Amino acid sequence: MVKAIKDVHASGIVHRDIKPRNICISTNQNENGVTDLKLIDFGIAKSYRDDLGIHIPNSKGRKFCGTAEFTSFAAHNGSG
């Protein structure tokens, strides 16, 4: 799962709604005996880089979005 999150992040995207319901586990194993995991539901995902690849500054005081049970302390405090 960490690799899936890293791959999404390397593409310049922050998922913003990682929770058990948004993770799919394959019923099959690949040729190496590894079970595939998929990260789904990019409905509130957001790009964190601009067109030049520069990190977009974090904004503060924005309305919370996501699932409260799975969010960080920073997001609960309005700084995430």
Answer for the pair 71, 80: CB distance below 8 angstroms, yes or no.
Answer: yes
Answer for the pair 2, 18: CB distance below 8 angstroms, yes or no.
Answer: no
- In Å, what is the CA distance from 24 to each residue of 1, 4, 13? 10, 11, 19
Residues classed as catalytic: 17
